[in-house]
Amino acid sequence: MKRKAKGIKNQTTIQNFITYAIVIAFWVFIQIWSKAGQMTSLLNGLLVPICTYVILAVSLNLTVGILGELSLGHAGFMCVGAFSGAFFTKAMAGAIPSVGIRFAIALLVGAAVAALFGFLIGIPVLRLTGDYLAIVTLAFGEIIKNLINVLYVGKDSRGLHLSMKDVASLNLEPEGEVIIKGAQGITGTPKASTFTIGILLVLLALFIILNLVNSRTGRAIMAIRDNRIAAESVGINITKYKLLAFTVSASIAGVAGVLYSHNLSSLAATPKNFGYNMSIMILVFVVLGGIGNIRGSIIAAVILTALPELLRGLNNYRMLIYAIVLIAMMLFNSAPKAIEMRERLMEKVKGKGKGAA
């Protein structure tokens, strides 16, 4: 019995190492690829976004796959992380001259602020279940985007000034600087995000999530997902573990946001980058990669981020193809008839193998 338990443990360790190895192999491959001079500027520009989306997909999988709650507001946490991180980097430009150190602290700030939002939003949201929870997370995501669009923050010698109206109402001193300019957002963030940093963050996110999933806490979270009432009856604190998973997921999304914001010179909250469309896109990665399957999320995020860009030659047809591929994949993967057909095919192949032997 003891040996068996050890065996299972070793197996998960091996599985986790394979996941890390895939990510590292991807990094090595890209390094070789670019040394060989094969990288186009298009692909180069995709590297940091790919890391961002991988982190987002992995973190959303914690909420959707492990906790089992459908969240449609993940982009909101990314938005919070992006703005708090970029704000920190800009505001501290005088105090900490090194961009690297500022970026490192900004990552922590982004994670912390997103975690705080995740916690505060989680308290009311996690009381609901199913589609109601989904629509409320969507609502929170939209509220966050909306509020950031009317937020003005400036800095002068007297400290920070905040307004929800316009630049003039900040009452800045003449030499003061406006950092967050409402709908225009934050401009002039240093471009500190690199592919290597991105990969390191992906590994960090994976490390946190995989360890969480394989811990006592992770098992408690999955027990809640599988049967809430049964979990409660064996003494698992539902609220605590749900909130924990939601907060960790939000905080990692915040880190992805910081990575995202330091890859752009101007950051604004538009429906395209932080609206529900983005949340849905991340959800598509998670579902196509396999709900609860962390490795699948990574692969799906990489492929689906690269796919529309690689299809760019097809111009207007690329999003159309993307949509058709998405529907076809879902039908092939999830339709009961398709699953049955696949199983029959597998059996045939297996049967043939046996016959030959």
Partner 1 sequence: MSFLSYFINGISLGSIYAIIALGYTMVYGIAKMLNFAHGDIIMVGAFATFTVVSTNGGNPIVGILAAVLVCTVLGVTIERVAYRPLRGASPLAVLITAIGVSYLLQNVALLIFGSNSKQFTSVVNIPALKLADGQLSISGVTMVTIASCIVIMIVLTTFINKTKMGQAMLAVSEDKGAATLMGIDVNRTIAVTFAIGSALAAIAGVLLCSAYPSLTPYTGSMPGIKAFVAAVFGGIGSIPGAMIGGIILGVIENLSKAYISSQLSDAIVFSVLIIVLLVRPTGILGKTIHEKV
Residues near partner 1 (CB under 8 A) are 64, 70, 124, 127-128, 131-132, 134-136, 138-140, 142-143, 146-147, 149-150, 183, 229, 276-277, 280, 283-284, 287-288, 291, 316-317, 319-320, 322-324, 326-327, 330-331, 333-338
Q: How far is the CB of 139 from partner 1 (least distance, A)?
A: 4
Q: How far is the CB of 25 from partner 1 (least distance, A)?
A: 28
Nearer to partner 1, 113 or 287 (CB): 287
Nearer to partner 1, 337 or 354 (CB): 337
Nearer to partner 1, 40 or 316 (CB): 316
Cβ-contact 205, 252 below 8 angstroms: yes
Nearer to partner 1, 344 or 350 (CB): 344
What would the two tokens of residue 350 be? Answer: 């297996």
**Alpha carbon separation from 64 to 157, 291, 293, 330 (Å, rounded):** 45, 7, 10, 17
Strand partners, 68: none
- Show the CA angle centred on residue 178, arms to residues 173 and 181, nearest 5°: 140
Nearer to partner 1, 115 or 126 (CB): 126
Q: How far is the CB of 163 from partner 1 (least distance, A)?
A: 13
φ/ψ region of 70 (left if φ > 0, alpha if ψ in -120 to 50, else beta) reads beta
Strand partners, 266: 187
Quote the CA–CA distance of 43 and 225 in Å, as a whole number.
Answer: 39
Q: What are the start-end ranges of the H helices in the chain? A: 2-35, 41-61, 74-91, 99-125, 130-149, 195-213, 216-226, 228-233, 238-261, 271-274, 276-289, 294-310, 318-334, 336-356
Q: How far is the CB of 328 from partner 1 (least distance, A)?
A: 9
**Alpha carbon separation from 106 to 90, 97, 134 (Å, rounded):** 10, 13, 29
Quote the CA–CA distance of 63 and 56 in Å, as a whole number.
Answer: 11
Nearer to partner 1, 68 or 198 (CB): 68
Q: How far is the CB of 251 from partner 1 (least distance, A)?
A: 21
Q: How far is the CB of 320 from partner 1 (least distance, A)?
A: 4
Nearer to partner 1, 28 or 335 (CB): 335
Q: How far is the CB of 155 from partner 1 (least distance, A)?
A: 23
Pairing type for strands 266-267 and 186-187 reads antiparallel
